[in-house]
Amino acid sequence: MAIVGGFDVHRRQVTFDYLDAESGKVCSGRIEPACRETLRGWLAGRFAGRSDVTFAVEGCTGWRFIVEECIRAGVTVKLAEPAAMANLRGNKRQAKTDKIDARHGRRLLCEGRLPESWIPPFQVLEMRAILQLYKDLAEERTAWYQRIHATLFHQGAPSLAGRLSEPAVRAKLRADPAGVGLSPAGAQAAATAVRRIDELDAEADPIYAQIVRFTRRQPGCVALQTLYGVGPLTAAGLWAFLGDTRRFSSSRQAVRHVGLDVTVYSSDGKRLAHEHLSRQGPPILRWLLFESAQHAARRTSPDYGYYTQLAERIDTDRAALSVARKTIRRAHHILRELGDQAFAPVPDWSPTPTSS
């Protein structure tokens, strides 16, 4: 590598620091504003026609356009794990600036100590964005449901609260909210909430159908859906966020990547803090896995005995989390055995939803 450098990405600027090994010259500065067009011009102006340029960038928000533009310009780029990068920084009392962070990435790359992370292919990145959009819509819909529940209970009309998912109940609230015993203001709030839920359903349903169409054709997603309780959403989440599991030395590392591993802090045989989940991985995947693990409560589940035993001894949430860890381990082995085929692109698939 004749030129080795590091990027530190922020919303307003991208700080760079690179070393020309041939001349020994170190260059640093800022690329402003932080956008594709500016970065593309900067790369073309400095490294056009060169194939011996390598940069490191932390896997934080904004890394995608940095990586894509570097690849487009023929520049080798390494994606670094942010948490591991921070651990390698050393004494936290030292000064921390954008320039120092860019230099830190460059030095780790030069020394061969950069904690590399997986760079997902295009369809994986697109599926991640689609799943996040679906989760945002689902969370907003749940919030409106909760507002209706609260309004009904607060005004003494809780009889409908447990049946809001039924179309007839929602139609009644939509047509005559005052008829269920709500005050004028309460009726207005309930009617507004129902309309918002209908609008969110209209947005979310095509996205769900889009995800289902993809998971029916993608080999990795098809294989993951052979697991009990893993439907299209969870399969797409495991495929997109777990990624190429060949980079993990064991299924335990896959569990740690998702953030469902239990952290323990102890010294001299004394436990100094309670056990808790690390929650270091993608939140959306933990959400999908927890929902999927609820199927273990069914008698037809292969994990029914394991789930009920933990549920009786501890509680149902802990039992679901334990089943979720089992699902991650199984998914790890499935994707690992498929190899490159696990991430084979789906031809003619567009991230834009179309009518079913």
- pLDDT tens across the length of the chain (356 residues): 699 999 999 999 999 999 998 889 999 999 999 999 999 999 999 999 888 999 999 999 999 999 999 999 999 999 999 888 888 887 666 678 899 999 999 999 999 999 999 999 999 999 999 999 999 999 999 999 899 888 888 888 766 655 777 777 777 777 777 777 788 898 888 889 989 999 999 999 999 999 999 999 999 999 999 999 999 999 999 999 999 999 999 999 999 999 998 876 666 666 555 667 777 788 999 999 999 999 999 999 999 999 999 999 999 999 999 999 999 999 999 999 999 999 999 988 776 655 44
Q: What is the pLDDT of residue 155?
A: 85
Q: What is the pLDDT of residue 267?
A: 62
Report the C-alpha gap between 113 and 295 in whole angstroms.
42
**CATH for the stretch 3-111:** 3.30.420.40
In this structure, the strands spanning 270-271 and 276-277 are unpaired
Report the C-alpha gap between 29 and 14 in whole angstroms.
9
Q: What is the pLDDT of residue 160?
A: 65
Report the C-alpha gap between 199 and 174 in whole angstroms.
13
Report the C-alpha gap between 285 and 271 in whole angstroms.
29
Q: What is the pLDDT of residue 153?
A: 85
